[in-house]
Each structure stands twice: as structure tokens, then as C-alpha cells.
Structure 1
Amino acid sequence: MKKHILAGVVLALISGQVAAKTWVLTDADSSTEQGNWQISSAQLKLEGEPFSIEQKVLHGGKQEGSKVITVTSKDGLTILLSPTRGMDLLRVTGHGIRLGWDSPVNEVVNPAYINLESRNGLGWLEGFNEMMVRCGYEWTGHPVTKDGVIYTLHGKAGNTPASKVEVIVDDQAPHEIRIRGLLKEHTFKKANLETWTELRYVPGSDSFTIHDVLTNKADYPHDYQIIYHSNFSTPILEENARFIAPLESVSPFNDYAKKGLNNWATYGAPTKDFDEMVFNLKPKADSNGKTVAAVINSKGDKGASIEFDTHQLPLLTMWKNTDTLKQGYVTGIEPGTNYAYPVTVEKQQGRVKQLQPGQTAEFTLIYSLLKDAAAVQKVEQRVKTLQGNEPAKIDEKPIAVE
């Protein structure tokens, strides 16, 4: 085993007394940076499903210095995330299916090259190409200026490089992999929020888990918001693809979205000049607060689903952006604490959460690649069971005006 790999290894006992190996790839406190790095199940002499984990430092253009970690499972999923971009997921592939989309932004843009306040607070869009981007945590939603402060589009987490990055592999089968990253939103007199993000993946599986823990490190209460902006395109998104979820209610985000209420859960082919339509959803859940949302293709033999806890993430946004392929043909499934209106609107309507000093909030989401008709039918049945006999209420009036 190479010396640079051994140098980062620390033996530890993880919860449940499962022995694991930990590699520290980045640590701002000790000025640690491994740069290009890799490990594999073969190097670790682990039996079972083969896997590899690799970090690469990118060069050229606006991605200069950006880092990408790739988790590869031979018979499962390949997952790409970027510690430079808030530990967000770039794309996921498996069984010939992609979770993600094609944005006109085709580089992993280093936040150093982004001005979030450009274009009247829309600078976030200059780096937007992820499969899943964390919108938050200090605020989220559409940009707004209040009392001389610009609250930029979808907050800062997605453009915050991780201060610490760890890779953990369980010694015991099935050798769960955990990629952890610490995001700091620290501003003098304003915020002292920290989030430990974590990707959990069992090699060979068609699902993975995101588990994040947000902590208010300040001596004062602080507001927070989070939307898990999860984006899907071809080969799942296509003409007559469908969005499914058990719902209490559906309402249009604005007057433009009202035009699409009659077929809001069905997608069209790529259409020039189709402006985005957004729908505010209130999900139904089981007795434990668990629910699921999914997008499936027209044949019902491939898709993507997200399971989440409505005690943590009580609301759901569906983003329909069926523009041309080059412009960005994509839909978003977005569990969150709030909707995508500006923070001023969300606060006025009582959807902004707050953490007391030292208090934490946890968020757990399970993403699944639905590789065949059987996997799709299983999710569809769960949605039908949770929906029950009472259909979702369709409200024609937007609940707020920007």
C-alpha cells in the first residue's frame, strides 16, 4: 500500500462498535490536504462487492482547484460528489441509468470564481449543475433585498468548500462507505452554523443515504432553512414521464405555474421557450412521518426516488424545467423545511425554522435508482398506499406572491 495512503489512515471505533478505517483528506485546522488520492477494496484486502474511492483535483477554467470524490461499485452505483461545492452530488450512474442532468454549466465551478450577488442575487446559477445541491442553511429561496442586505438565490452552502473531509470504510461486511464533510457558515455578528454532511453507501446497493447534522454554534438563536434540490433528466425524464408522491395538497408557485395545473405531474418533451413551472406540495406520510417521491419514465421501467422524514422536511417542491436539451431539460424533486419563495416571504408565512444555542437538526434522505419495472412498481405501490382513498387537494391560487 502506498505511503501517502497509509499516512491518512486512523483506526477508530464507529457507532455500534463497528471497526472502521478513516482517512482524513482535508482538515483546515491542521492544514491537511491529500490532493489526488485513492483506495480500493483490493488494496484493503476486503472481500465482497469490489469498490474504489478516488479524489481528483481538477484543473483548467473555472474548475481550477475543485475536488471531486468518486465512489465506484462494480455491480452497484458510481457516485460523484464535490467537497469544493458543499459536498453536493454531481451525478450518480448505475445499470445504464443516470441520476443528474446536463446544465449549460459543464465544469465543476470553484466557488472562488462565483459572485453570488451578481445578476441581482442570481450568481448561484453560474455553478448550478449538480444532481443534488443543498440550498441553505442560513437562508434559501429566491433572491431578495431587505434592509440593505442581499439574500442571494438558495443560500451559501452549495458554494462553501468543506473545512474537513473524511472517508470511512467499515472493516466488517458489507463494508459501508461514509464520506463526511464539514460545512461552516460563519459570519461575524451574523451566523455561526456548522453542518456535518454525510454520504452513506453500501457497495452493490442501488440506494444511498444522505445524513446531515446542522448545529447552531452561537450563543444566540438563529434561523435556518434547507431545500435538498435534487435534479433528474434523461433517460428518466422524457415525454410522458411522471412525478409521483402521496400528497395532501398541490398549489402553483406563481401565476405562470397555474397554466400547468391540469397536467402538473406529467412531463412534456424538450420544448423551446418553456419557462420553469414550480409547484408547492404538502406530502402525506406514514405513522412514523416517512414518505417518498419519485420521477419515472413513460414506460415505467426506470426512475429515481427519494425517501425522507416529514418531521425533518415537512414540505416538497416540484420543479418542472422541460426546456431544450442544451438549455437544461430537467426536473427537481426538492424536500425541504420551506418553499422556494424569498426568505422574507417564508418568514412572514411562518415556514422559517430556528435553532437555539447549541441545538442541532438532523436530515436523512434515501435516494434510490429504480433500475427496472419491479423497482418502479414497488415505489408506485407505496405511494398508492400512503395516498389512500383521498386524492390530493388542488389549489389554484398561489399561497404567496414574490
Structure 2
Amino acid sequence: MTPLKFAVTLGALSVASQAMAWDYVLLDSDKAAQNWQITSQQLGVNTDKPFSVTLRTLHGGRQEGVSIVDIDNGTMKLTVVPTRGMNVLQASVGNVRMGWESPVKEVVNPSFIELNGRGGLGWLEGFNELVARCGYEWVGHPGMDNGELLTLHGRAANIPASRVTLHIDEKPPYAITLRGELKEQAFKKVDFSVATQLVTEPGSVAFALTDTLTNNGDYPKEYQALYHSNFSTPFLEQGARFAAPVKQVSPFNDKAKGDLPDWQTYRAPTQDYDETVYNLVPYADPQGDTLAVLHNKAGTLGVSVGFNTRTLPVFSLWKNTDTQGQGYVTGLEPGTSFSYNRRYQRPLNLVPTIGPKEHRQFHISYSLLADKLAVDKALQRVVDIQGGRETEVRPTPLVDLNQG
């Protein structure tokens, strides 16, 4: 019995044979979700890093009906939530977790979230992911824009994927690719689709996202995107540091202005600290690639976030070093835009337009830096991109939020 036929007998929802890959349809809008698994052993893959992909459904409370895809590449374990915008819930290598402990413990089904609630902050009722997609019609703080209430960070994180497929290469290194399709549509308003893709390889301590935004409509439309990438302990601690090649840094508001001298370092969990945010304009290499790094105080453990400034030209650094129970976390957030309401960002030229039938692609890579050597290598990459160029520290916010 061939590996492909064996996979079919194990209940694959749909399998198509290609010359160089195994392909499966895990979820589709015209099929009920079913628990399912495929492993490297079932595929006949002989590897020292056995891998598996599992589809399961959550039950109980506000997570009723949520679909989860678990990817175990033999070294890193990833959890993706198709019901919540193909967001990455968490990633872990051994006992080291990339992610954070939100007060929101359930993986909340979007059907139980009212985005307009709490004055436009309803998004927070489901926020607990390692990577949450923000956009794509808008991002930023809630508020009015052209007579319309824009809720916090858009709809993408609460759009269930209409189709999810799995692609596994038949030859080494047996790359595992999970794809999903999101549709952001409203009559006379927007007709966007987003083809999401997550790729990892067996034995790797990294994964990459590639999202392709398409304007299916007949008119140009504004769009925004931001990748809310969230980390806590063991990377975040008293004396932890952030590093990136930075052209300009500015405080988001007056509160952040007070902590501007320490924008690259972190506090221990601090009662009543709440949050500070900094707006960064990064430098990049000649291809537009750049890198942001978070590491512990000793420089022996960290994470890196890579992205391309040609499509994600700015970066928000969110420092929420409040108590552990409140959510001790920092956000490393590449984007087309900062986190101001959209109406404030047009004068900053941070509300781009996508033409009819046009595409925009966003690529973000995430890596665990498991030891001092890996941290030092990433920091050297930051230094190389900076190339001795100066960082402008702008003392005042880019936007006067006291002006309506």
C-alpha cells in the first residue's frame, strides 16, 4: 500500500496526488469540520524529526466550535486557529513558549464577540494569540473616521477561514505549508480576500507567514495591515532588551513620552503600569529586509521577527509590562501603519491604496533564538543593517490625540 493510499484510509477529507507533494483539504465552507491527523510515519517519511499535523474542534464556553490545527515539526509545536483569522495561538520548543498568558483563557469563537462593544474595544475579548492579524480595511485605535466607527484593529483576527489546506513536500526537507482564505466583504464597502500561508520545516525552530491581499472589487480601496506579534516570559523580564535597526523612534502619546529614554528596555511586572507604545521607522537592507529582536537580560534566549519594509514600512513597539495577571506582554508589530485611528494616519501617508484586482503581499518570519550564539548572530544582523546610521529620537508624538 502506498503512503498516499494509506493516508486516504485514515480519513483524509480530501487528498490530491501531485508529483512532489501531498495535499489535503482540512476545512471548506461546504463541509463540516472533522477531527483528523496525518503523521510522517503514515506518509512513509523516514526522518529523525517525525512530524504530524492534527485538526481538532474545541467545545465548551465561548470556544464552542473553534477549529484548531496543531503542527508538530519534530522540534517546534505550533497551534493555528482557522476560526480566528488563521492566527497563530502559540509556538513552543520544549518548555520554551513563544506567546503570552492573556486573561482571556479560551480560544473565543468570533460569533461570541461584538467588535462594536466596549466603545469599539470588543476585539480585546478574544485577544490572546502569539500572532494576531490586524486589518485589512483598517487598523488602529477605535474611533470615528468619515462618519463610521472603526473598531480596534479591524476584522481580520475574527474572520473564520472559508477554506484551509495542508501541503507537505514529498522530498526533504519536507516543508509543511498550511494555507487559509479569509474574506472581508461588505456590500458597497469592501471586497477583500486574503490568502494566508504558514510554512515550517521538520526540526526547525522557525516559521514564516506569507499573506496575499487581493482587492476583488472594481474600485480602488484604502487598506491597512499590522501583525500583532506578542511575547512574554522567558524572553520578557526585568532588563530584557529590544533591538532593531531604527531610523526614527517617537512616543505614541504623552504617557510614552515619559519613558522615552528607556524605550529599548523592559521592566518587571509593575502594578498600574498599563502600557506604553513607540512608533518606529526601521532601516532595511538593499532588498528591503529588516529584523527586530527581543532577548532576555542575559542575552541567552530571544526571538526575532523579520519582515520587508517595502510592504510593511513601519513598526509599533507595545510594552504592556503590567502585572502577570493583567497580561505581562510586549508586542513587536510590523505594519503598513501605526496604531493610531485611520483618520490620523492619512496625513502621515500611512493609509495606502490597492487598485481593482491588485495584490499586496506581506511576509513575516519568526525564529526562536535558543542560545547566546543565536542571539548574538541576530543582534549582529541588526547592527549590519543599521550600518552606522543614526537613530532620530523624536521627543514628541507624531499625532496630537487631543485634537479631534
TM-score band, normalised by shorter chain: over 0.9
Q: Is the 8 A contact 2:13 2:26 kept in 1?
A: no
Counterpart of 1:8 in structure 2 is: 14
Q: Deviations over 1:192-244 (max 9, x none)?
A: 00000000011101111100100000011111100000000011100000000
Task: Supply the AA of the counterpart residue of 1:203.
Answer: P
Counterpart of 2:163 in structure 1 is: 164
> 2:332 matched to 1:326?
no
Structure 1 residues 391 and 64 mapped into 2: Cα distance closer, same or farther (>3 Å)? same
Q: Is the 8 A contact 1:95 1:371 kept in 2?
A: no
Counterpart of 2:3 in structure 1 is: none
- Equivalent-residue separation in structure 2 for 1:35 and 1:153 (angstroms): 32
Task: Supply the AA of the counterpart residue of 2:182.
Answer: L
Give the unaligned 5+ runs of structure 2.
1-5
Q: Deviations over 1:116-151 (max 9, x none)?
A: 000110000000000000100011100012344210
- Equivalent-residue separation in structure 1 for 2:201 and 2:11 (angstroms): 22
- Equivalent-residue separation in structure 2 for 1:52 and 1:290 (angstroms): 31
- Equivalent-residue separation in structure 1 for 2:73 and 2:28 (angstroms): 27
Counterpart of 2:133 in structure 1 is: 134
Q: Is the 8 A contact 1:68 1:81 kept in 2?
A: yes
Task: Supply the AA of the counterpart residue of 1:324.
Answer: T
Counting matched residue pairs gives 394
TM-score normalized by the length of structure 2: 0.96
- Equivalent-residue separation in structure 2 for 1:147 and 1:397 (angstroms): 27
Q: Is the 8 A contact 1:25 1:32 kept in 2?
A: no
Q: Which moved more, 1:385-394 or 1:287-296?
A: 385-394
> 2:339 matched to 1:340?
yes
Q: Is the 8 A contact 2:104 2:126 kept in 1?
A: yes
Superposed displacement of residue 377, structure 1: 0.4
Superposed displacement of residue 292, structure 1: 0.1
- Equivalent-residue separation in structure 1 for 2:331 and 2:381 (angstroms): 20
Task: Supply the AA of the counterpart residue of 1:371.
Answer: A
SS at structure 1 position matched to 2:383? helix
SS at structure 2 position matched to 1:184? strand
Structure 1 residues 358 and 63 mapped into 2: Cα distance closer, same or farther (>3 Å)? same
Superposed displacement of residue 346, structure 1: 1.1
- Equivalent-residue separation in structure 1 for 2:144 and 2:36 (angstroms): 42
Task: Supply the AA of the counterpart residue of 1:55.
Answer: L
Counterpart of 1:312 in structure 2 is: 311
- Equivalent-residue separation in structure 2 for 1:38 and 1:167 (angstroms): 11
The alignment's C-alpha RMSD in Å is 1.1
Q: Is the 8 A contact 1:25 1:33 kept in 2?
A: no
Counterpart of 1:226 in structure 2 is: 225
SS at structure 2 position matched to 1:272? coil
Counterpart of 2:267 in structure 1 is: 268
Runs ≥4 residues deviating over 4 A: none
> 2:27 matched to 1:21?
no
Counterpart of 2:383 in structure 1 is: 384
Superposed displacement of residue 389, structure 1: 2.2
- Equivalent-residue separation in structure 1 for 2:303 and 2:34 (angstroms): 32
- Equivalent-residue separation in structure 2 for 1:144 and 1:12 (angstroms): 49
- Equivalent-residue separation in structure 2 for 1:237 and 1:116 (angstroms): 29
Task: Supply the AA of the counterpart residue of 1:131.
Answer: L
> 2:65 matched to 1:65?
yes
1:77-156 alignment, distance < 5 Å: 77-156=76-155
> 2:51 matched to 1:51?
yes
Superposed displacement of residue 275, structure 1: 1.8
Q: Deviations over 1:353-374 (max 9, x none)?
A: 1110000000111110111111
Q: Is the 8 A contact 2:251 2:278 kept in 1?
A: yes
SS at structure 2 position matched to 1:363? strand
- Equivalent-residue separation in structure 2 for 1:320 and 1:123 (angstroms): 21
- Equivalent-residue separation in structure 1 for 2:257 and 2:54 (angstroms): 46
- Equivalent-residue separation in structure 1 for 2:382 and 2:289 (angstroms): 11
> 2:284 matched to 1:278?
no
- Equivalent-residue separation in structure 1 for 2:259 and 2:159 (angstroms): 35
- Equivalent-residue separation in structure 1 for 2:389 and 2:15 (angstroms): 54
TM-score normalized by the length of structure 1: 0.96
- Equivalent-residue separation in structure 1 for 2:218 and 2:378 (angstroms): 44
1:227-266 alignment, distance < 5 Å: 227-266=226-265
SS at structure 2 position matched to 1:348? coil
Q: Is the 8 A contact 1:5 1:39 kept in 2?
A: no
Counterpart of 1:16 in structure 2 is: none
- Equivalent-residue separation in structure 2 for 1:269 and 1:336 (angstroms): 27
- Equivalent-residue separation in structure 1 for 2:290 and 2:348 (angstroms): 24
SS at structure 2 position matched to 1:375? helix
Q: Deviations over 1:26-70 (max 9, x none)?
A: 121xx1234211110011111222101001100000000011111
Task: Supply the AA of the counterpart residue of 1:109.
Answer: V
